[in-house]
Amino acid sequence: MGISRRDEASTRLVSRSVRASVPSLRAALDAMPAPRTFWTAPDEATVVAGGAAATLTANGQDRFTAIKDGIDRVLRSGDVHAGTEAACPRLFGGFAFHDEGTDDETWADFPGARFVLPRVQVTDTDRGTWLTVNAVGPDATAEAVETRLDAERERFESLDVSDPGPPPSILSRTRTTPRDAWCDSVDAAVSRIRAGDLRKVVLAQALAVTLDRPLSLPDVLARLGDTYPDCYRFLVEPAVDDGDRPGFFGATPERLVTKRGRTVTTGALAGTTGRGDTPAEDDWLAEELLGDEKNVHEHELVAETIREQLAPFASSISAGQRRVRRLATVQHLFTPITATLGGDTHVLDLVEALHPTPAVGGLPPGTALTTIRETEPFDRGWYAAPVGWIDAAGNGTFAVAIRSALARGTETTLFAGVGVVADSDPDREWDEVQLKYRPILDELER
C-alpha cells in the first residue's frame, strides 16, 4: 500500500473549498502540478486536479480490498469544509486490466491499482466552480491549507487563456498485430468457441503513433469533449519527475458502475456498427444492428452476465429496453441496468465483481483472460480496466477505459478491441477495430 499503517495520525485530512472564477478548465489543467487528473461524466461535475496530498497503490489479487482499506484511512476522519458535495474530497484513479500486473516497460509507471487525493482541485458544476485544497499528514493544519487556498485562487483566476494550438503531425504508425496474425487469432478463438471451450472472448490491438512533438493532453481532452460530450473523459498521470511523464487518457462511452447510496446504475454496451453518411443510412445501419444475430448474441451475453454479477449484492435488478447508442464514429447496442442494493456495499466491491465485463473480457472469465494473455502480443496495462473516483461514503463512478491511449513524449499508443463469438468474421472484426481507433486518432489527425 502507498500509505503506511504505522501511524493513523499521519492520514489526518484537512480540506477547504471556495468558489472561484476559473476562466478555462483547459488552461487550469495545463497549469496543474503533476500528477494531473481529469474526470468528467454525464450528469456529473467536471474535475481538473493536480498534485497528490495522498497516494494509494496496490498490486495483486487483493488490490481492490487494499485500496478500499486505504481510502477509509485517508477519508474517514478530518477537518473538511466544502461548499458543495461535488467539491468534497475524493480519490481518483484506476486499476490494471489483469490482476497479476505487468513487466511491460510501456506501463512501468502504472501499478495494479493507483488512486490519488489531489492537492489542488477545480470542480466545475451546474451551480458554479469550486477550488479545493487538500492536505494529509500529522502537520496538516487549517491555517496552512487556507493560505494555500487563497494563493491558488488568485493563481487560477488570473490564468492567461490562449487558443489551443494545432495538434501535432503523425510521422509514423506501427501496429502490434499484422492483419494475417489477427485473422489467425480470430479463427483460433472461433474454433475454441465452437468446440465449447469459450462462449466469447474480446481480442484487442494496439497502434503506436509517433508524433512530431509531444501531445498537449489538455488540448486533446478539450477537443474530445467537443466531439464526445456524452462520454466519460479521463486523464490519469503517475507521479513521474521527468518531462516525458506518461498520461493515460480517453473518451469512453462505457460506464462500469455508479453507486449513490443503495442505488446502482450500469449497463451493457456491446455490438457495434458504423455511422451512415446520411440520416437515412444512419437509421438503416441502426436497424440492421438491432436485428443482427451476431451482435445481439454478443450483447445479450454481456447483459446477462452483468445481472448475474450484481445479483449477490442487490435486492432488485431491472433492465431497460435494448436500444442503439450513437457516437460520432460508431453506433452500439445498449441496455441500461439499475439495481437497489440489499445492504451497505462499497463501490469497489461492485467494481471488483463486475470487472472485467464480457464486453472487454469474455466468458467464461478465467478461460477468456487466459486466452487474451496468450493471444495478444502486447500488455493491456490499464486499457479496458476501471477508472474513476471514490468518496468517503463508498460512493463513486467508474468507467471502462476503452477508446483510450497512453501518451509519453512524442509517442502515443492507441488501443481497441472487439468481441469474438461463434460466427465472427476476422475481416469484419478487423474493420471494427479500425472504427474504434477513430475517437483518439481523429484528434491526432486534425
Reported as a single tens digit per residue, the pLDDT across 198-207 is: 999 999 999 9
Which pLDDT does position 241 carry in this prediction? 64
Angle of helix 293-310 relative to helix 347-354, nearest 10 degrees, comes to: 140
Average pLDDT over residues 324-330: 93
Number of residues assigned to the chain: 446
Evaluate if residue 102 carries a pLDDT over 80: no
**Does the annotation count 281 as an active-site position?**
no
Which pLDDT does position 397 carry in this prediction? 98
Indicate which residue of 237, 254, 298, 352 is catalytic. 254
Which pLDDT does position 6 carry in this prediction? 34
pLDDT tens-place string over residues 199-241:
999 999 999 999 999 999 999 999 999 999 999 999 999 976 6
| Inter-residue contact 125 to 140 (CB < 8 Å) | no
Q: How far is residue 406 from each of residues 54, 146, 147, 410, measured CA to CA in Å?
A: 23, 36, 36, 11
Question: What nine digits make up the cell of 395?
Answer: 460512493
3 — pLDDT class (breaks 50, 70, 90): very low
Contacts of 68 (CB under 8 A, 6+ apart): 346, 348, 349
11 — pLDDT class (breaks 50, 70, 90): low
Q: Given its phi and psi angles, is residue 309 left (phi above 0), alpha (psi -120 to 50 degrees) or beta?
A: alpha
| Inter-residue contact 382 to 417 (CB < 8 Å) | no
User: Which of the pair, 261 or 166, is modelled with greater confidence?
Assistant: 261
Which pLDDT does position 290 carry in this prediction? 95
Mean pLDDT is lowest, of 1-10, 71-80, 99-108, 336-345, for: 1-10
| Inter-residue contact 28 to 12 (CB < 8 Å) | no
Q: Where are the alpha helices (DSSP H) in 230-292?
A: 279-291
Evaluate if residue 172 carries a pLDDT over 80: yes
Average pLDDT over residues 245-255: 95
Average pLDDT of the residues of the chain? 92
Indicate which residue of 68, 152, 200, 352 is catalytic. 200
| Inter-residue contact 394 to 347 (CB < 8 Å) | yes
8 — pLDDT class (breaks 50, 70, 90): very low
User: Which of the pair, 316 or 239, is modelled with greater confidence?
Assistant: 316
Evaluate if residue 137 carries a pLDDT over 90: no
Which pLDDT does position 105 carry in this prediction? 84
Evaluate if residue 5 carries a pLDDT over 70: no
| Inter-residue contact 80 to 89 (CB < 8 Å) | yes
65 — pLDDT class (breaks 50, 70, 90): very high
Which pLDDT does position 446 carry in this prediction? 66
SS3 content of the chain, % helix, strand, coil (to 5): 35, 35, 35
pLDDT tens-place string over residues 362-373:
999 999 999 999
Evaluate if residue 394 carries a pLDDT over 70: yes
242 — pLDDT class (breaks 50, 70, 90): low
Average pLDDT over residues 279-283: 94
Single-letter residue type at 271: G
Average pLDDT over residues 322-345: 95
**Does the annotation count 200 as an active-site position?**
yes
